[in-house]
Structure 1
Amino acid sequence: MPDLKKILSISNFSKSQKDFLKYCVFFFTPVILIYCLLEALALQLPITYKSVGEYLESNTSKIELVALGSSQVKCSFNPALSHIPAINLASSSQHHKEDFLILQGVIDKLPKLKYILFEVSYMHLELPYHSQNYWKNNIYLNYYGINTFERQTYFNDKLIYLSNPRYFSSKLKDYYFYKGSENQEQLNEFGFKINNYYGSFHKLKYDTSEINNKYFKIFTHENLDIFKTNTTFLFNMLDYMKAKDLKVIISTIPLYKTYLKKRNPQIVHRRDSILSVIVKKYNNVVLLDKETDTVQFSVRDFLNENHLNPNGAKKFTALVNRKLDSLH
């Protein structure tokens, strides 16, 4: 029987094989070292996820309200202004699937949890969910200690920089090369960006005539199959919350009037019909419907067409507080 040790021994390699092996070592070692450095630097970045994760870890015994959702909720609810201890676990492009997995991941850590705030936005019910390989699963695992992969985790699941090199490269550049600029991210202890004013409306100096003529992207494509799937998932979420004796505030976040005008009315109608069913079916659910509120929310409350700035967040958080007071 052949001696495997001899066969696999480097001394038995040909000169060309040894040269190739040396080339690989010389080439890949610096690459690996660079990625290790980038990973270490990325983990040290004072980004929202890091602040939120630290607040979550140190306040598990106090938190009574969890806010979930996309960037619209992230920009709209400031836990620092909440009447009760709260945390905002919303983030950009976060869908109901991630919301539900995050809730399931934190609920046993929060003994005083009573309230859930989340959104059913204009387009939520007709946008597809992310796959199991969604890059933010790495974020949730590393910063929140929550496994949203829906499977056993592996070593690469714990890597931050490689989960989204473009995102973290941009964050590294902003932090190390543009430190001190007026629009550099400033976070409170809850991970809420308190200087989040420098969006497209600010660039246009809140000139409504300029804003009215500004181009922006809006989702208008209808998908009834996704609507059925997402609606079923939403009801499963609500069943779970009711079983856990949680009081739920479903919100629709204020939108600027130019965005409101371009919404697909059929998508709006289907979404609103589901909200009507939910309010009738679940006695633990209340609706905070502010999507079309153009009276309380003016142009200077907006970052862009569908996100509030901190001024708008102050108003919206006050409305959440009022709704919470009515639930006591």
Structure 2
Amino acid sequence: MKKFLKHICLFSSVLILLSIGFEITLRRIPNSYRFKRNIVEKKGKEIKNLIIGSSVVNCGIDPAYLSDSTYNLAISGQWLRYNQVLLERYIDGLPHLKNIIWGISYQTLWLDDYIGQDKISIANHKIYMDIDKHKDILYNIELLSTGSISFRKWSKYYILHKKTMSCDSLGLDHSYDLSERGRAWVEDIPRQIKGHSIAENEKTEKLFKENVRRIDEVAELCRTKGIRLYLVIPPVHRKYYELTNAGQVEKMCVALEAVAAKWDNVRFYNYFNDKRFEDDDNFHNGNHLSSDKGAVRFTRILRKDILNNDSTSVTPL
């Protein structure tokens, strides 16, 4: 029996050591969370314009085509809870920040990856961005919280020697380039829109109200700092738009219009069904612009509509 227990202890010790080594090597793999945290911490003193939100602007707004000192801090799957936390944490260290462009997607106002228990997002924000909104110790360990995803990530980087992060120096995500687009992306739009359409119930209504409150609180924070906040809905593919729930679109727009009407430093721009994006090459999929073509066109439009036409300053409160 003692010999058996000895072997069990030895095996357990080896397993623990291997797990620790795996976790250490996992954390050395480049990822957009750490990369964008480094941008705001290292470039904060020079930043004048920020792009925040989730994947629709992570790939859809190219800082290179806006004015200088613009950075894209949006992250795929990053919902409003984290956008708010990041701004509240870093805004005092951004002395020259004048404009924030906040990208809002069709489903954004009804989602929250903290309440929804998106373990991967929770762990990545906790480990790489030091945003601790969940007290479960599980999320301090990437191997335990992401499971098989961590093994695929490790293999991709260390065995296949492929990139795990495709952001350029300004934060634009080039994994949405046309060269990365799937062949059946148009045929996949009905499945995509099905996952983005929200069923009306008590839970989703609660999430909606909480997310609108978060936007309102950010608007107030920006107002006290003399910063303009632009709420922007990027364009989607025509087939995607045709399949959207009209009631969900209207509710989204009415809520954002109300925030803009409440605060004199907030503007709302809706490009959701913009006919200037009829060319399929503008899109990576149904609701994401291609980062090498669609994003360039959209950013040029934003520069003309927003930064070039809205030169009035906001006096800090």
Structure-2-length-normalised TM-score: 0.82
CA distance in 2: counterparts of 1:149 and 1:258, whole angstroms: 37
CA distance in 2: counterparts of 1:241 and 1:138, whole angstroms: 28
Map of 1:197 onto structure 2: 177
Cα gap change, 1:80 to 1:51, in 2 (>3 Å) = farther
Map of 2:191 onto structure 1: 216
Contact 1:76 1:313 in 2 (8 A): yes
**Within the alignment, does 1:172 sit opposite 2:154 as a pair?**
yes
1:152-200 per-residue CA deviation (whole Å, 9 max, x = no partner) reads: x97x6554444423333222222234336xx875432234333533688
Cα gap change, 1:21 to 1:103, in 2 (>3 Å) = farther
Identify the match of residue 292 of structure 1 among 256, 259, 273. Answer: 273
Map of 1:114 onto structure 2: 98
Equivalent pairs, count: 302
Q: Which runs of 5+ in 2 are unaligned?
A: 312-317
Map of 2:308 onto structure 1: 325
Cα gap change, 1:214 to 1:64, in 2 (>3 Å) = closer
**Within the alignment, does 1:257 sit opposite 2:238 as a pair?**
yes
Which amino acid is the alignment partner of residue 170 of structure 1? R
Give 1 or 2 for the bigger CA radius of gyration: 1
Cα gap change, 1:65 to 1:174, in 2 (>3 Å) = same
Map of 2:68 onto structure 1: 84
Cα gap change, 1:20 to 1:282, in 2 (>3 Å) = farther
Structure 1 ranges of 4+ moved more than 6 A: none
Identify the match of residue 288 of structure 2 among 296, 301, 307. Answer: 307
Which amino acid is the alignment partner of residue 164 of structure 1? T
Bigger CA drift: 254-263 or 53-62?
Answer: 53-62
CA distance in 1: counterparts of 2:187 and 2:142, whole angstroms: 39
1:204-227 per-residue CA deviation (whole Å, 9 max, x = no partner) reads: 4x8xxxx36864222222243433
Alpha-carbon offset, residue 110 of structure 1: 1.9
Q: Counterpart of 1:233 in 2: which secondary structure?
A: helix
Contact 2:59 2:174 in 1 (8 A): no
**Within the alignment, does 1:229 sit opposite 2:214 as a pair?**
no
CA distance in 2: counterparts of 1:228 and 1:195, whole angstroms: 32
Counting only pairs closer than 5 Å after superposition, residues 3-14 of structure 1 correspond to structure 2 as none
Map of 1:139 onto structure 2: 124
Contact 1:178 1:184 in 2 (8 A): no
CA distance in 1: counterparts of 2:179 and 2:111, whole angstroms: 24
Which amino acid is the alignment partner of residue 105 of structure 2? S
Which amino acid is the alignment partner of residue 151 of structure 2? S
Contact 2:29 2:164 in 1 (8 A): no
Which amino acid is the alignment partner of residue 187 of structure 1? C
Alpha-carbon offset, residue 302 of structure 1: 0.8
Contact 1:65 1:85 in 2 (8 A): yes
Map of 2:315 onto structure 1: none
**Within the alignment, does 1:93 sit opposite 2:77 as a pair?**
yes
Structure-1-length-normalised TM-score: 0.80
Contact 2:58 2:171 in 1 (8 A): no
Map of 1:9 onto structure 2: none
Which amino acid is the alignment partner of residue 226 of structure 1? L
Contact 2:123 2:145 in 1 (8 A): yes
Alpha-carbon offset, residue 23 of structure 1: 3.6
**Within the alignment, does 1:46 sit opposite 2:30 as a pair?**
yes
Cα gap change, 1:20 to 1:65, in 2 (>3 Å) = farther
Which amino acid is the alignment partner of residue 288 of structure 2? H
Cα gap change, 1:110 to 1:160, in 2 (>3 Å) = farther
Cα gap change, 1:24 to 1:62, in 2 (>3 Å) = farther
CA distance in 2: counterparts of 1:202 and 1:125, whole angstroms: 28
Q: Counterpart of 2:309 in 1: which secondary structure?
A: helix
Map of 1:6 onto structure 2: none
CA distance in 2: counterparts of 1:32 and 1:239, whole angstroms: 48
Q: Percent identity?
A: 23
